[in-house]
Amino acid sequence: MPTNPREARPLEGVTVVDVTQVIAGPFATMNLGDLGADVVKIEAVGRGDRSRSIDPIPEYFDTINRNKRSIEVDLKSEDGREIVTELAREADVFVESAKPGRMEAFGLSYERLSAENPTLIYCSISGFGRDSPYGELPAWDALVQAMSGIMSVTGQEGGPPLWSGLPSGDLITSMYTTQSVLAALYARQRGIIDGEWIEVPMLDAAISWLSARAGHTFGLGEPFPRLGTRHPTLSPFGVYSCADEDIVIAAGTDSLWRDLCAVLGLEELREDERFSTASTRAEHHDALKTEIEAVLADGSAEEWVDALQGANIPAGPIHDTRSVWEDEHVKGRGLRRTLERDGRADAEVIDHPIHFSTLATELSRPPETLGESTADVLEELGYDDGEIERLREADVIG
């Protein structure tokens, strides 16, 4: 145990076998690794996780695969399946993201592995889950965003539905995967369960995030409209143009509206019937935007952000994925991290966002090359050098 309690990671001593690829599974298991779990990532011999071949290489892969040990195993071979079975016998968690039925075909189903290890927490990520009419459909993120309704509320007013730009369906699924695994581990610790099988369908997970947007439909019987950056019931709220760049202002309450008028020198608008209440301001959003932007045009985005934030009005710059790292908050929090690697370029990653008072997260292992830990993991399972070489020559491992 660490001598300093602040160095203790919450999942220290927990072993996770990771048979996932691309984003949904790997992002979840990376989170478990950040929390201290020993994550053993199973990758196809010679090819590895498909995200290893997505540009830019290796930066795409690196952002979702730190704190893992990579081993190359051919699951189509009997010896390869035995290696994974041996890992599962000693593991706490097994996470897979194959199509329903694929793990059964490999002899790595929950039923099979739980018979070997009754305390195993087994989590299956899939596009649609078992018994879905879409069970065989490949669940690409854009498809999940479309079928869940997320895409329908994303886009400019009057324009077409848009993909969110983030792999939202994947990331939502990742969060539920992490949450459910932690919940099962806690239930096991309390003696409520021995082991558990968890199913996380991407479509179901994405639909759950409709939340208040679904509430609009439940209450009014209408689809939630695409509004771009405009809020359906609050104004000023959204993107506003300054002399040089756009900024975001979110001053939707009466008190914030009064403060905004003071900063912009638009006190007379407070007496305008069109803008006297939250509902009338939302109703006359376009006219209010015109009034505000006429003033903002006299200054730069930086000047106006400083003035508005100085009055505690929610306003800020619209960063892109390059400029965000120069933000004083981001730099002060050290959110962009560099993990050093021997013999090849260091990995640029984003720090784990959660901070505990007495526990800790740690970025201890940079993303590995394909199969970098194969020999080490097999030695821990009891394989000697001769057996490892035999498996390598037979292309069971890489």
Instruction: Please state the φ and ψ torsions of residue 201, each to the nearest 5 degrees.
Output: -80, 130
- If pLDDT is split at 50, 70 and 90, which confidence band does 279 have? very high
- Whether residues 54 and 190 share a domain: the answer is yes
- Concatenating the DSSP letter of every residue in 96-116 gives E-SPTTHHHHTT--HHHHHHH
Rg, the chain, Cα only: 25
- Whether residues 65 and 141 share a domain: the answer is yes
Average pLDDT, the chain: 95
In the chain, pLDDT over 90 holds for what percent of residues? 96
Catalytic residue ranges:
170
What pTM, to 2 d.p., does this model score? Answer: 0.94
Tens digits of per-residue pLDDT, 108-139?
999 999 999 999 999 999 999 988 999 889 99
- Whether residues 61 and 161 share a domain: the answer is yes
Q: Is 83 exposed, middle or buried (0-12, 13-18, 19+ CB in 10 A)?
A: buried
Mean pLDDT for 27-39 is: 98
Cβ contact 29:16 at 8 Å: yes
Residues 6+ apart with CB under 8 A from 10: 35, 36, 356, 359
C-alpha distances out from residue 171 to 49, 137, 209, 323, Å = 17, 19, 11, 22
Mean pLDDT for 375-382 is: 97
Helix (H) or strand (E) holding 41: strand 38-43
> Which CATH number belongs to the domain containing residue 386 in this structure?
3.40.50.10540
- If pLDDT is split at 50, 70 and 90, which confidence band does 7 have? confident
Q: What is the pLDDT of residue 6?
A: 55
Counting every residue written for the chain, the total comes to 398
Nearest-angstrom CA–CA distance, 317 and 325: 13
Q: Is residue 232 part of a domain?
A: no
Domain count, the chain: 2
- Whether residues 284 and 354 share a domain: the answer is no
Mean pLDDT for 177-190 is: 98
Residue 343: count other Cβ atoms within 10 Å of its Cβ. 5
Nearest-angstrom CA–CA distance, 300 and 297: 8
Tens digits of per-residue pLDDT, 95-109?
999 999 999 999 999
Last residue of one domain, picked from the residues 266, 300, 324: 324
Last residue of one domain, picked from the residues 324, 353, 372: 324
Cβ contact 165:179 at 8 Å: no
- Whether residues 163 and 44 share a domain: the answer is yes
- If pLDDT is split at 50, 70 and 90, which confidence band does 215 have? very high
Nearest-angstrom CA–CA distance, 327 and 95: 36
Last residue of one domain, picked from the residues 324, 349, 379: 324
Nearest-angstrom CA–CA distance, 104 and 386: 30
Structural domain range at position 345: 5-209+335-393
Is residue 74 scored above 80 in pLDDT? yes
- Whether residues 45 and 193 share a domain: the answer is yes
Mean pLDDT for 159-179 is: 97
- Whether residues 278 and 388 share a domain: the answer is no
Nearest-angstrom CA–CA distance, 195 and 261: 59
Is residue 2 scored above 50 in pLDDT? no
Which candidate, 208, 175, 182, 206, places its Cα nearest to that of 196?
A: 182
Nearest-angstrom CA–CA distance, 23 and 293: 40
For residue 245, give the amino acid letter.
E
Mean pLDDT for 373-379 is: 98
